[in-house]
Amino acid sequence: MTKDRGEVLSWLSLTSKGVDLLEEQAARGPTFEEIGAQWLAGAEAGRISRRRGRSQAYSETTLDGYRRSFWNHLVPEFGGQVADEIDEVRWQVWVDELAASGLSRSRIASHVAVASAIYSWALAPSRRFVTRNPLRLVELPPNDERPRLRVAFADEAAQLLAALDPEDRIPYAIAMYAGLRRSEIVRLEWPEVLDGEAIASRVLVAKSKSEAGTGRRPPIAAPLRVVLQEAWLRQGRPRAGRLLERSVMSGKVGRRATAAWDAAGLNRITLHECRHTYASLLMAAGYTVKEVMEYMGHADLQMVTRYVKLLPQPGEDDAADRLNAYLARASAPVQ
């Protein structure tokens, strides 16, 4: 303990000022980080649902995206500021800066959606941590991005996969010939594609981002069964464990794939576009919209109808081809 009276008085003065500052800030309201952390904790615990008035919890994949957006982007920019003092202009300037930096519109929209959800939760009558949601009037950059509607026709799909290393071929083949999302591919385990000592005809999606996608069993196309069989033998016939040999979350597999396709003179395709390819192949093969909805893991027919009507029908030169193919099958003699 110091015996210097001046030092003691100085310390007491600073402490008093610090207390006054804390009291002043508390009177102004909580910071953005404080209300955001509470909202995120509620979402993680299932107390905050995906839709107002419903008890449907967020998926782990969605929560991972929320965490990255909140801690990596929103908190560094706004975390220490009083939430109710961040006005529309400040949010708009930030959005414009992100657009100027080259960040895609979809990524910016994701960050804005998280911030808006935080304000909406904080604005509820039972809380009133803020007096308004400033994100309601923020304008996103123009939607001039090309829609992701590329699909690979059957011949091109085979060429794209053949150009890849065996380990990199696996995730693209799963997306292209079974329609799984990236997060579903990451979680896929060997028991979910095996039938004894062979690759099953269907894959079990044990966990998805939605209830509609969880537990579905989309059919596995023959080319994928070949890829999986080769991987199973290469890994020593495992009966358990993750299927992937390389991660698809870092972006490295995409860069390696792009380099391989450039060398082969092929057009790049993303994992999401491979999923589009699967939907298009199902439609071309004559599966019903309800079947496509089930195999793709969509929640309702309206969603899948909007989705598939924009996709081309690979392998069909004439609209009568499908009808003629059906009639040929129906009239063929029973063996």
Q: Could you read off the pLDDT of 281-321 as tens digits, one per residue? A: 888 788 888 898 899 998 777 767 666 655 655 555 555 66
Q: Could you read off the pLDDT of 30-64 as tens digits, one per residue? A: 999 999 999 999 999 988 876 554 556 788 888 99
Query: What distances in angstroms separate CA 161 from CA 28, 65, 154, 200, 283, one per listed residue?
Result: 58, 29, 11, 20, 21
pLDDT of 152 reads 86
pLDDT of 267 reads 93
Nearest by Cα to 181 from 191, 171, 190, 189: 171
pLDDT at 325 over 60: yes
CB atoms within 10 A of CB 132: 12
Cβ atoms of residues 238 and 232 within 8 Å: yes
Q: At what angle do helices 252-264 and 166-178 cross, to 10 degrees?
A: 90
Task: Provide the residue type at 137 as one letter.
Answer: L
Q: Which fold has domain 25-137?
A: DNA polymerase; domain 1 (1.10.150)
d(CA 79, CA 89): 17
pLDDT of 6 reads 64
pLDDT of 1 reads 47
d(CA 165, CA 222): 19
pLDDT at 246 over 80: yes
pLDDT of 326 reads 65
pLDDT of 240 reads 95
Two tokens, residue 229 = 């069989």
Nearest by Cα to 171 from 238, 249, 235, 265: 249
Q: Could you read off the pLDDT of 191-237 as tens digits, one per residue? A: 999 999 899 999 999 988 778 889 999 999 999 999 999 999 999 99
pLDDT at 136 over 90: no
Q: Which CATH architecture has domain 154-317?
A: Orthogonal Bundle (1.10)
pLDDT of 310 reads 56
pLDDT of 256 reads 94
Q: Could you read off the pLDDT of 78-99 as tens digits, one per residue? A: 999 999 999 988 998 899 889 8
Q: For the residues 17-40, what does the mean pLDDT come to?
A: 76
Domain residue limits, the chain:
25-137, 154-317
pLDDT of 61 reads 83
Q: For the residues 109-127, what does the mean pLDDT come to?
A: 94
pLDDT at 22 over 50: no
pLDDT at 255 over 80: yes
pLDDT at 166 over 70: yes
Grouping H, G, I as helix, E, B as strand and the rest as coil, residue 36 is helix
Nearest by Cα to 173 from 164, 187, 161: 161
d(CA 131, CA 108): 24
Task: Provide the residue type at 225 as one letter.
Answer: R
